[in-house]
Amino acid sequence: MKKRGIVAHSLSVAVIFLGIVTSVALAAPPETPPNAITIAGSPLRIEVGHNMSIQVYHQNYEHGATYGDADSGPAWYIDGQIYGPDLLSHGDSAAFNSSELTWIDHRGPSGSGTLGDPWRVETTGQLSTGTSTLDVTQLISYVNGRNYFQLDWTMTNRGGGQSCFKFYHAADIYFANDDYGFGYYDAGSGSVGGYDENRTWFMVFAPITRPDRYREAYYDSIWEDVQSGRDLDNTIDAEYLDNGIGLQWNLCLAAGETQTISNLWSFGQSEAEVIPTVVARATPEGPGAVDVMVRDHINDDGSVPSNPNGEPFWMSPDVIVRHEADGRTGETDFQNPTFGQTNYIYVTVRNIGTENASNVRVNVYWGDPALLLAWPDSWNFIGAATVDVPAGGRSVTPEIAWTNLPSPGHRCLLVRLESDQDPIRDEGNVPGDNNIAQRNLHILELPRGADSSTGSEDVEAIAVGPPNAETAQVDIAVQYPDLPPGAQLIIRIERDLFDRWMQATGGDVVNGTVRGEEIIATGPDETIIRDLPLNPGEQAPITIHIDAPIADPFSFQVVERVNGVDTGGNVYWHTALLPEPTPETGDDGVDLPEIKLPSELTCTIPCFGAILLTLLVLWLIRP
């Protein structure tokens, strides 16, 4: 048995040695939770203990998907104490002691294993702290033939007042007959889990009810978090290790109130297979009566996650910057903020619910052009406005003055909607909560070159090393599917990072050429700088130099990917239209083409006629 806090994998060697010495074949651990009820399906066999612990077997592998007899289950941290299955007291385990619920009933399997009548195992218990009482039901459902099964936990507050607590689903996971694995997180669905050393087997918790927190780490770190009621820190450990996973929901139930948390436990040979479609395209997140939102992109309908097909979630068309408080809020009215003056922000808020929304507070923040922006550390408050939004309609905020722009240059914007009728459920997760939106859009001005038909500009994005992920795979993708003929993109990385990248990978780039200290994009649609050796939290500027024809509209974007998942990006857009003039410059900073007079002036009869008429008028109006 592995011990808590120690990585121990000499057990199999010891068993073999003992077998040789004694000539007795020793049996493997039972890997079965206590008083288990079995759902004998295919490809999954699910063993459900009377204490809500679970062991799962996939037909491809001999051992279960959790360590020991069943190191997995729900846990409740309430009134300073952790409650749940006392895993450490039931057979082989590396978990921790917890206060058990009073177990009331354990029944099943019922059903026939079909889509309309899945197999089910139901376990009920009661949790009582002296000041709080919760009735708890766990329902395990499995449709035969699927690579995943569903877990539903229904909780009812039987106390006389409000009860607030943290609810966890956690496990010490076991991959493909191996206790070690790499961490995995899918931001779109919120799924957390891992995969084996060869990346041929994935296992995840895929939430139907979006969690507040998640974590993948060394198994003992997960158990310590749960046992002490700590918040899971929203990180994945990129190392190959004896790992565990966990999801966390923060709940408050009024007296008599009931809430159900739902989750899937899924297996697969690829990322696409392991994320079931039921969580890949979730239903709108609001309570139905009121569901306020700000779009993440032009096709966002309010469903979460907002990017089921990988749509960029950082280009909200509902967040508009203007240089004057002129009320222009169209999707093409966005202007780059100007340093040294007050800029103005308008936000369009929509209500896709069935009842009116009142007193929705619209908070706006700015951040540096980083590709990985974390809440709340990366953001600075700008201002707020309050709106009422009719059911099925939309409202635009009054102008929100932006006076704290610290310097010239591109900035990112974040909007958070605070509403008592529809609160934020997944703070910091832009695609996962439709109360949150981001606008990372920079209008390219392309000052003209010598021939006045082309222009150049340097723009900057900041690559950010993921926190607590020292060996994370960080890629930077520059995407340019509509770049006009004759345009060129040159990518420059901060010198120290460039040298480390060259030393680590030799300059691993897709669709690009390393020339000196620059990467020349060669296309046709995307250039990827692979495996940047960024330290945790490190910030490194990425400069993109663009040469392009002035007359052609186009856009490109810079995206950061961590372990294959898009974590953020910036969009750069050239409209091929001159910005509106200002009194100071006449062209808002864009050099207009020089007006050249011809070297010889020829004048025809109409020309002389116009001159004579002008002289006559001047003579008639002389003083």
Write a three-state SS string for 357-415.
Answer: EEEEEEEEEEECCECCCCCCCCCEEEEEEEEEECCCCEEECCCEEECCCCCCCCCEEEE
pLDDT at 595: 23
Q: Give domain status of residue 370, yes or no.
A: yes
Strands 133-142 and 148-157, bridge-based pairing: antiparallel
pLDDT at 455: 84
* Residue pLDDT, tens place only, 380-425: 999 999 999 998 889 999 999 999 988 877 889 999 999 988 888 8
Q: What is the mean pLDDT of residues 7-19?
A: 31
| Position 450 confidence tier, pLDDT thresholds 50, 70, 90 | low
Same domain, 259 and 296: no
Helices (H) and strands (E) in the chain, counts: 6, 37
Q: Give domain status of residue 623, yes or no.
A: no
| Position 463 confidence tier, pLDDT thresholds 50, 70, 90 | confident
CATH of the domain at 433: 2.60.40.10
Same domain, 21 and 115: yes
- Where is the domain boundary, 418, 442, 466? 442
Q: Give domain status of residue 593, yes or no.
A: no
Same domain, 349 and 481: no
pLDDT at 71: 82
| Position 437 confidence tier, pLDDT thresholds 50, 70, 90 | very high
Q: Does residue 350 surpass a pLDDT of 90?
A: yes
Q: What is the mean pLDDT of residues 55-66?
A: 88
pLDDT at 573: 81
Residues in the chain: 623
Q: In terms of Cα–Cα distance, which of 363, 468, 367, 456 is closest to 413?
A: 367
- Where is the domain boundary, 232, 247, 280? 280
Q: Which of 40-49, 167-176, 236-245, 369-378 has the lowest mean pLDDT?
A: 369-378
Same domain, 314 and 463: no
Whole-Å CA distances, 263 to 124, 259, 548:
17, 14, 49
CATH of the domain at 154: 2.70.98.40
CB contact at 8 A, 117 and 83: no
Distance, in Å, from the CA atom of 67 to the CA atom of 31, rounded to the nearest integer, reads 8
Q: Does residue 532 surpass a pLDDT of 60?
A: yes
Q: Give domain status of residue 361, yes or no.
A: yes
Q: Does residue 285 surpass a pLDDT of 90?
A: no
Q: Give domain status of residue 428, yes or no.
A: yes
- CA dihedral over 429, 430, 431, 435, signed as positive or negative: positive
CB contact at 8 A, 517 and 495: yes
Q: Does residue 429 surpass a pLDDT of 80?
A: yes
Q: What is the mean pLDDT of residues 250-273?
A: 88
Percent of the chain at pLDDT > 70 equals 82
Q: In terms of Cα–Cα distance, which of 171, 166, 133 is closest to 151?
A: 171
Same domain, 434 and 556: no
Q: Indicate the average pLDDT of the chain.
A: 81
Whole-Å CA distances, 221 to 75, 174, 248:
15, 16, 14
pLDDT at 89: 73
179/563: higher pLDDT: 179
Same domain, 477 and 399: no
pLDDT at 318: 94
Whole-Å CA distances, 123 to 97, 246, 311:
20, 21, 40
Q: What is the mean pLDDT of residues 321-327?
A: 94
Q: Does residue 275 surpass a pLDDT of 60?
A: yes
Distance, in Å, from the CA atom of 414 to the CA atom of 420, rounded to the nearest integer, reads 20
Q: Give domain status of residue 609, yes or no.
A: no
Question: Cis peptide before 109, with omega less than 30 degrees from 0?
Answer: yes
Q: Does residue 537 surpass a pLDDT of 90?
A: no
* Residue pLDDT, tens place only, 100-154: 889 999 999 998 888 777 899 999 999 998 888 999 999 999 989 899 999 999 9
| Position 179 confidence tier, pLDDT thresholds 50, 70, 90 | confident
Q: What is the mean pLDDT of residues 358-372?
A: 91
Q: What is the mean pLDDT of residues 327-356?
A: 89
pLDDT at 464: 85
At residue 317, the 3 state secondary structure works out as coil
CB contact at 8 A, 546 and 457: yes
Range of the domain at 311: 292-442
577/486: higher pLDDT: 486
* End-to-end CA separation in angstroms for the chain: 111
Counted domains in the chain:
3
CB contact at 8 A, 248 and 168: yes
Q: In this structure, what are the phi and psi dihedrals at residue 411, rounded to the nearest 5 degrees?
A: -135, 150
- Where is the domain boundary, 238, 259, 280? 280
Q: Give domain status of residue 429, yes or no.
A: yes
Q: Does residue 284 surpass a pLDDT of 70?
A: no
Q: Give domain status of residue 620, yes or no.
A: no
Residues pairing with 235 in the sheet: 215
